[in-house]
Structure 1
């Protein structure tokens, strides 16, 4: 797998365009970024979870994007995606531009049954403890229509979260990233080539505020991909930040600048007064000298 080249600041971003050609699309590694975003999204509950990215389902690797093993412990309440999780949670992420159709859906089902078949006496995987999640940026409307034709029910639970009610032995959800709330899932929502300047600024501030090393590492891996996919946006953010910094600096320095100007004006006035006094003194001396010469009978023309 190609390594992600991280970028710790936006100073290295060159002015460009959000339009990404085919070669750019191949270079942007969305799947590792998704794993990092998912880890950040549920960081509050991470102590009760194990993350296994690119999980091999059998000896001839069939790779699952992400497996999250959830342990007993802290209840997940404030996360509309992770609240769906049970003991064994299989996640398939479809990157920007990737298709999510009935064939991809069927492959996800087969992965889940294959995972179940790997159960051992020491690693129980009951169906009621297994979930399957598909994550995609845009709503797969054609897939929903196809599923309903096959007698599946599509339950719109909340913004961007759809539960697929079916005859399968495990629970299924589909998450649409461009419909979920940025405030609730900022890291996942950032997996796009259409990031707004406002959201880009918030992501940078959030990354800067992280304290835990694991969170920092995940954010760095994610942001390197998000910045690569949204070069122009982050270039604009840099310009905004520079302008704001200049404005803030001016506001901070304004009293000192005003005082310096006032002092300079005052000094200038003093200099003028001194010069005027010197000139007046010279004029008086000249007048006095003229009077003395006049008394001596000397006429000055």
Structure 2
């Protein structure tokens, strides 16, 4: 069944990193996140580098258990695939960390985490066919949706997001643009209420809400359920847009104004710039600069 795609850019990478931080919250004192981490002085970047503190105790989360000092995250969005070439490119990115840090011994402190929405059957088949390991399966299932790949010079794990168990990884398992009746929306709503002012949760839900603006069949039902569950957040975004409209001296309620304000809010939230959104409601000059920055 076809559905209309949501308009505008959805920052899946920011949502995925936010989801990781939420899921690994119990280890927040020992993990530092560096999204879009540069690997050289040019444009070469990795989706995220997670640095684990030297004095960190063993991480209890299955996803974090593999972590060493430097942990590269390579993420593919809902419309992408984790291909064979992606796999080797991600490994090359991880292996370039020691040179960039000028710490050659760091080669023994690196891990690679691959995150994808699609089960990479072709990649897994290729790894199994070409593995030099004769004693065990080079793709080891740890839990549903989490696999260790025993190949190459560094520890590698593969996370297939929709396969993760909801009861263990509620947020990452629900990072999707295709909600179903099995998606635990009420559970997400209850968990969100305790963190509704946290930018991480806002970034995550902003992506999910916008990505699931569907119009047909069961997808319409799930979209309506999602919007009803987070009506307060959606209304808050609308109110902020109206406040921005007042600051701009434009009549509240005009479609053009609301559209521009909504677009600005979404862009700021996608970029995790919550403080900028709040400041814009109080500082007309800063609002003007934001509108110019985003060409609105």
Q: TM-score range by the shorter chain?
A: 0.5 to 0.7
TM-score normalised by L of structure 2: 0.67
Aligned residues: 217
Once residues 162 and 32 of structure 2 are traced to their aligned partners in structure 1, the CA distance between those partners, rounded to angstroms, is 27
Paired residue for 1:275?
none
Once residues 78 and 33 of structure 2 are traced to their aligned partners in structure 1, the CA distance between those partners, rounded to angstroms, is 22
Q: Does residue 1:159 correspond to 2:139, yes or no?
A: no
Quick check: 1:20–1:229 contact (8 Å CA) kept in 2?
Answer: no
Quick check: 1:88–1:125 contact (8 Å CA) kept in 2?
Answer: no
Question: Which deviations, in whole Å up to 9, do the C-alpha atoms of 1:55-94 show, x marking residues without a partner?
Answer: 01000121100100001224311x2111111111000010
User: Could you list the runs of 4 or more consecutive aligned residues of structure 1 that deviate by over 4 angstroms after TM superposition?
Assistant: 237-242
Name the one with the larger helix percent.
1
1:208-227 equivalences in 2 (<5 Å): 208-210=193-195, 216-227=198-209
When residues 95 and 112 of structure 1 are mapped into structure 2, their CA distance, relative to the original with a 3 A threshold, is same
Q: Does residue 1:82 correspond to 2:93, yes or no?
A: no
* Larger RCO (alpha carbons 8 Å, 6+ apart): 1
When residues 237 and 53 of structure 1 are mapped into structure 2, their CA distance, relative to the original with a 3 A threshold, is closer
Q: Where does structure 2 lack aligned partners over 5 or more consecutive residues?
A: 133-137, 214-219, 232-296
Q: What's the RMSD between the two structures over aligned residues?
A: 2.4
Question: Quick check: which has more Rg, 1 or 2?
Answer: 1
Q: Does residue 1:146 correspond to 2:126, yes or no?
A: yes
When residues 97 and 238 of structure 1 are mapped into structure 2, their CA distance, relative to the original with a 3 A threshold, is closer
1:270-289 equivalences in 2 (<5 Å): none
Once residues 179 and 108 of structure 1 are traced to their aligned partners in structure 2, the CA distance between those partners, rounded to angstroms, is 22
1:128 to 83, 87, 108: 108
Question: Which deviations, in whole Å up to 9, do the C-alpha atoms of 1:111-132 show, x marking residues without a partner?
Answer: 0121122233xx5652221100
Q: Where does structure 1 lack aligned partners over 5 or more consecutive residues?
A: 1-16, 243-301
Once residues 230 and 170 of structure 2 are traced to their aligned partners in structure 1, the CA distance between those partners, rounded to angstroms, is 20
Once residues 27 and 212 of structure 2 are traced to their aligned partners in structure 1, the CA distance between those partners, rounded to angstroms, is 29
Once the two structures are TM-superposed, the CA of residue 161 in structure 1 deviates from its matched residue by 1.1
Paired residue for 2:173?
189
Deviates more, 1:94-103 or 1:123-132: 123-132
Q: Does residue 1:200 correspond to 2:185, yes or no?
A: yes
Paired residue for 1:176?
160
Once the two structures are TM-superposed, the CA of residue 18 in structure 1 deviates from its matched residue by 8.5
